[in-house]
Amino acid sequence: MLTQAIEKDGTSWLGLAGRVCVVTGAGSGIGAETARQLAVAGARVAVIDRNGDAAALVAAEINRAGGRAIAIEADVSQSQAIVAAAEQVQKDLGACEVLINNAALVGYAGPLLTVDTVQWNQGLAVNLTGALVCAQVFTAQMIAAGNGGTIVNVASICGHLPLPHGGAYSVSKSGLMMLTRMLALELAEHRIRCNSVSPGYVRTPATAAAYSEAVIAEGRRRMIPSGRIGEPEDLANVIMFAASDRAAYLNGEDILVDGGVHHALLAIIPKQASPMPSTGR
């Protein structure tokens, strides 16, 4: 399937062919699909994941299909590992031109009043500080090359709406959106854009348990105006657009990709059966 996609690529309009693209958390889910689709568009892809075996499988799939990819085992919360990863990208593929900060950790789920601060800090280290470190390290290559570049941070609907008992997750994703805006301003002089994409409910290996019970899966599906749970491809398509030349004037923005669920709040709040009388205003 991937081989046929690369052979019949219709995404040249994105202007990603030949670009060196780095995707973190690319061993599965949204990151893996983004790496595959970037390869279909002709990009050279660095597949980074703390699970080295998973990263290797994704890179091998791309290479078998005629694309170009390398796999790197690295934890984004370990700055020296990211420095080493960047050196390998530069050596094997060339200077990074597109960075997709996708690595994330859901981590501890429980009330804030009893959250374990070690787990809290680990969530921030991966979801927020890790994105900053990757931006620092890989934009250094972009700046040195002098050709501009693009960063896309994968945030979450939980950065817009608080997830109760979610530990640091909502806080880290909200922070990631602010980091996106700050990077957009500070990197503009180097012609480097930075935007974020916020997934809603998406079916991935990391969220599979949430859909193992039919009642819960169907309940979630019914709440989404688009009538279905999102798939990794839905997010990969938007991430690629944000990273591409077609989005050249998009900077510092967050794109919420959730099938419209965040617009449905007023539709699910109980209300009286008959219309309210007019107030004349």
- The pLDDT tens digits for 6-34 are 555 656 789 999 999 999 999 999 999 99
User: Max alpha carbon distance in the chain (Å)?
Assistant: 70
Has residue 190 been placed in a domain? yes
Closest by CA position to 240, among listed 39, 64, 2, 24: 39
Has residue 56 been placed in a domain? yes
- pLDDT tens string, the chain, 281 residues long: the values are 676 555 556 567 899 999 999 999 999 999 999 999 999 999 999 999 999 999 999 999 999 999 999 999 999 999 999 999 999 999 999 999 999 999 999 877 789 999 999 999 999 999 999 999 999 999 999 999 999 999 999 999 999 999 999 999 999 999 999 999 999 999 999 999 999 999 999 998 888 787 888 888 898 888 899 999 999 999 999 999 999 999 999 999 999 999 999 998 888 788 777 665 555 55
pTM for this model (two decimals): 0.92
User: What is the number of domains present in the chain?
Assistant: 1
Has residue 209 been placed in a domain? yes
Rounded distance between C-alpha atoms, residue 100 and residue 114, angstroms: 33
Q: What is the pLDDT of residue 1?
A: 64
Has residue 218 been placed in a domain? yes
Q: What is the CATH number of the domain that holds 127?
A: 3.40.50.720
Q: What is the pLDDT of residue 143?
A: 98
Using CA atoms, how far residue 12 sits from 1, 44, 268, in Å, is 18, 14, 42
- The pLDDT tens digits for 201-242 are 999 888 878 788 888 889 888 889 999 999 999 999 999 999
Has residue 149 been placed in a domain? yes
Has residue 275 been placed in a domain? no
Q: What is the pLDDT of residue 220?
A: 85
Residue 173 belongs to domain spanning: 2-255
Has residue 214 been placed in a domain? yes
Has residue 117 been placed in a domain? yes
Residues annotated as part of the active site:
169
